[in-house]
Structure 1
Amino acid sequence: MNSDVASRQRFWLVFLLFLHTVNTYMDRVCISAAKGAMQKDISGLDDQMMGYVFGIFAIGYALFQIPAGWFSDRAGPRMALTIVVIIWSIFTAMTGAVFTAISLLAVRFLFGMGEAGAYPGATRALYSWLPAKERGLGQGIFHSGARIGAAASLVVMPWLVGLIGWRMTFVANAAIGLVWGAVWWFWYRDDPSKHSGVNQQEVELIRAGIAEEAATESKLPYIQVVTSANVLLAMFQYAASNITFFISITWLRPYLVKTWGEEYGYLSALPLLCGAVALWVSGYAVTHLHRRGMPVMSRRLPATIGYAMGAIGLILCTQTADSNSVWIFIASFSLATFGVEMTLSPSWAFCMDIGGSRSGAVSAAMNMVGNLGAAVSAVAFPYFVANVTIPMVAETPGTANSFFVFAAVMNVLALIAWQFMNPRRELKEVSPAAMKTRLAFFVALIALVITVLVYVNFLMPKG
């Protein structure tokens, strides 16, 4: 190995974590692809119960975000991600072994609980191996695996179910996860200096890059950090982005079919692919700006541009309801999705900047509240379509124009929030009374997220 040139093992880490996110979405999409076959074999698994099965994953996933993030920070990403992947792979395999609807509910809750650590653990691993100037691109590549994995699984999983049956499909997905977990355990090290493939030059590059941001890492209690203005704004803007994004994986296809016809349902995959491209573009922009000596703008500017594009795309969507061409709508919504996906890399890099050695738990808090945005999206879209009118935009119910205006407003508010987010802002210690107030607020926020998710997945009238 050339002793004068830094090795590039950190890039292999990013690739391995990219495969990690592909794996998470393969396991999530698998049950959707197997739905029909499962309902034939499992007694009592009607559409309503299947909805509960889908929903209980979201409850377990949100509920265990912060505990899983805390565990990743304390145990280290090597052990934490190995355990996390083993747990969710076991419950993926057990999904193929259930014979009753109730046991399926229990297994999928535990599956969601296990997968809760996937993103916080990976973010903590990236913090330890990537200098601050490379975090944006690393996060962009990492998160793009979810979009690519979801799109590919929509094709691969139905084929696999038809080839080997739904039960063995879950076993095959579990096997892939266990292989990844084994590779992770034997390849990754919490300290890159202990990795045999990392030379001293790369170690020094990583340490110097982390040290650049070391002054921003707070040693104050976690509750104070996670209820600081920086993190609260990060939570809000991440929820706002999910309000737009989750339409692409929930209501978009039914809306296309209802408005333009069944033959156009396949176009719902295009915004997802645009989102994957956006993650790479944004990640490159974050990295490029940081290397040019703009640590704050490297996070703020790509996010600001992204939310502006999201709002513009959504407003353009309101002009397409009466159009005979579905392509104009798809182009407009793809622009909106591209925009909000541009905000992911700066958002997660921001959590790494301010969380430091606690980036797993800080990013988990943001991701937990992001689930609130996803739940609001699921409730708001059909309600706005059926009930909400806006002069000159949605004169009568029946179109999604009113929702698009609502989502555009949320994107503008998120854009404004980013103008007040600064990863280099120093935190000051607060009084015990203020700490108790912050703790009560944070507990109330967690309760709100769980309540909304329970309502959306179990109590909200379906129709």
Structure 2
Amino acid sequence: MNPVAPTTQRFWLVFLVFLHTVNTYMDRVCISAAKGPMQDEISGLDDQMMGYVFGIFAIGYALFQIPAGWFSDRVGPRLGLTIVVVIWSVFTALSGAVYTAISLLVVRFLFGVGEAGAYPGATRAMYSWLPAKERGLGQGIFHSGARIGAALSLVLMPMLIAAIGWRLTFVANAAVGLLWGGVWWWWYRDDPAQHSKVNEAEVELIRRGIAAEAATESKVPYVQVVTSLNVLLAMFQYAASNITFFISITWLQPYLVETYGAEYAYLASLPLLCGAVALWVSGYAVTKLHQMDRPVLSRRLPAMIGFAFGSIGLLLCTQVTESTSVWAFIFYFTLGTFGVEMTLSPSWAFCMDIGGSRSGAVSAAMNMIGNMGAAVSAVAFPFFVANVTIPGIAETTGTANSFFLFAAVMNVLALVAWVFMNPQRELKEISSSALKVRLALFLAMFLLVMAALLYTKFVYEPNREARHDGDRTGHARVTLREAEGNPWRAENVGGVRGGLESLA
């Protein structure tokens, strides 16, 4: 008699959290699309204040990463993620009800606080439902929702605003979030054995797959876990990948316009779309290697290959900036972005492996430090363009070659970091004095991230003179600072930078 086959409800879970990431992106990009009409109606909302509104979201998002991850671990992802989605959906709707700049500032900060739990909560949910061998593909599909949502929202949000107005667009996005939260509460269970559609065979499959890794799950204090070599290296490599990735959603579009012409602005979407494919490819590779009984290599190899592609793509970018063909440049930059996107699936699966029942808080710590990479990227790109020359690579200022070399070096260092990352490394308890030192180190890292974000969001202004000198092809010259403004015009970056940052 043939045994009963396991049901496949865990795959419906992956689909639900995929929609979850699409939803987060729709809510984030909405305010960028609505920038113009909002400034027409809201008192005191000039360009500088709009920049603060964009920035305050990132502060709330980063500040509450770890508390939100801890909360999901503590109460369970069913209640935790439901509360998170309801909070940010309420503040999304309230974004359409404000009439003063100060009230908008408060609402967007609280919106960021709400969304802080989106990724850690979903990661904790997948830990309870996915055996270790399926976490890579699950994470790849999960994170690809942000990239696909990015491409869709850039077109959908402006159309929706034109049809129903910006205030109702915020309400519509909030309604989608509340609908998702209702479905999540109705469908999800913290223990898959309590789900009516999950049969015993699937429960056994899940439990056996989790138990295989649970033996290595550390019971030491959380501070020791997040300051261990494994997590410190995970934090570093995640920040390094963000240095490359965030160029694709901040400076790439105005750089294309400034260098090759406004008619090529649409090419900035290609790295995002290819990034989604990279997440699927990497997730599949992580899963396949784990099924071949190579648990450590399943995390390490796809990430190392990804960082290698990232380095190669960026180095090749330095060889084509003098070319009048945009296609060679965008191909190489897309290759670099494809590479760093390959590192996401193994990174988040790695956090699930070492975090176990605390995977929400551990992944939140990695994600918080990842915001440092975004902050560095926002400052470093225009600085390198305006000030840094490198013999043989960037002989003069005015090109991004020096930054591409810097990002490539960071990717190489991240590749090396993965050599020393091992999800099966056992942690042993340390003395209380050593733990206090680690706590001080962790708090210092937290303050450093907050300082970097505060500086980049509220103090820093790109150099107004950071422009490309050679007008080789007769295209209009646009300074990087002058490019800030309406995000839906090809030559603008400000709103895109505010609305598309902090994808994860």
Normalised to the residue count of structure 2, the TM-score between the two structures is 0.91
User: Aligned partners of 1:364 and 1:266: how far apart in 2?
Assistant: 33
Return the alpha-carbon distance in structure 2 between the equivalents of residues 326 and 29 of structure 1.
Answer: 27
Query: How far apart in 2 are the matches of 1:311 and 1:215?
Result: 36
Alignment of 1:219-230 (within 5 A): 219-230=219-230
- Higher-helix-fraction structure: 1
- Offset, 1:47: 1.2
**Distance (whole Å) between structure 2 residues aligned to residue 261 and residue 104 of structure 1:** 35
Paired position in structure 2 for 1:146: 146
The root-mean-square deviation of aligned C-alpha atoms, in Å, is 0.7
Give the 3-state SS of the residue equivalent to 2:313 in structure 1.
Answer: helix
1: CA distance between counterparts of 2:217 and 2:359?
Answer: 10
Displacement of 1:215 in angstroms is 1.4
Is the contact between residue 131 and residue 205 of structure 1 (CA under 8 Å) also seen in structure 2? yes
Q: Which residue of 1 aligns with 2:254?
A: 254
Match of 2:159, SS? helix
- Letter aligned with residue 195 of structure 1: H
Residue deviations 1:170-210, cap 9 Å, x none?
A: 00000000000000000000000000000000000000000
AA paired with 1:37? P
Once the two structures are superposed, the pairs formed by residues 128-147 of structure 1 within 5 Å of their partners are 128-147=128-147
Which residue of structure 1 aligns with residue 76 of structure 2? Answer: 76
Map 1:167-246 onto structure 2 (within 5 A). Answer: 167-246=167-246
List aligned pairs for 1:61-460, cutoff 5 A.
Answer: 61-460=61-460
**Residue 461 (structure 1) shift:** 2.3
Q: Secondary structure at 1:7's aligned position in 2?
A: coil
Deviations 1:322-361 (A, max 9, x none): 1111010000000000000000000000000000000000
In the alignment, the residues of structure 2 paired with residue 132 and residue 224 of structure 1 have an alpha-carbon distance, to the nearest angstrom, of 23
* Distance in 2 (alpha carbons) for counterparts of 1:264 and 1:43: 35
8 A Cα contact 1:137 1:284, kept in partner: yes
Write the deviation string for residues 231-286 of structure 1: whole angstroms up to 9, x where unpaired.
00000000000000000000000000000011111100000001000000000000
Q: Which amino acid aligns with 2:212?
A: E
The Cα shift of 1:3 comes to: 6.4
Shift of 1:143: 0.2
| Partner amino acid, structure 2, of 1:325 | S
Structure 2 CA distance, aligned partners of 1:333 and 1:39? 34
Structure 1 counterpart of 2:287, one-letter code: T
**Conservation of the 8 A alpha-carbon contact between 1:3 and 1:199:** no
Which whole-Å deviations, capped at 9, do the CAs of 1:59-107 have from their partners, x for residues lacking one?
0000000000000000000000000000000000000000001100000
1:313 alignment partner AA: G
Q: Deviations over 1:396-416 (max 9, x none)?
A: 000000000000000000000
Distance in structure 2 (CA, Å) of the matches to 1:201 and 1:428: 35
Cα distance between partner residues in 2 of 1:71 and 1:341: 28
Q: Which residue is equivalent to 1:53?
A: 53
State how far apart, in whole Å, the 2-side matches of 1:54 and 1:265 are.
22
Following TM superposition, by how much is the alpha carbon of 1:44 offset from its aligned partner in structure 2, in angstroms? 1.4
Q: Quick one: distance in 1 between partners of 2:228 and 2:319? A: 39
CA distance in 2, matches of 1:43, 1:261: 35
How many residues are matched? 462
SS at match of 2:336: helix
Q: Give the distance between the partners of 1:301 and 1:3, measured in 2 at CA.
A: 35
Letter in 2 for 1:258: E
Shift of 1:216: 1.4
Normalising by structure 1, what TM-score? 0.99
| Conserved? CA contact 1:306–1:341, under 8 Å | yes
Which deviates further from its counterpart, 44-53 or 172-181?
44-53
CA distance in structure 2 between the aligned counterparts of 1:18 and 1:306, rounded to whole angstroms: 22
Aligned to 2:493: none
Structure 1 counterpart of 2:407, one-letter code: A
Rounded to whole Å, the distance in 1 between the matches of 2:272 and 2:216 is 34
- Deviating beyond 6 angstroms after TM superposition, the runs of 4 or more aligned structure 1 residues are none
Q: Which blocks of at least 5 consecutive residues in structure 2 are unaligned?
A: 463-480, 482-504
Paired AA for residue 349 in structure 1 = A
* Identity rate, percent: 78
Tell whether the 8 Å contact from 1:311 to 1:411 is kept in structure 2 after alignment: yes
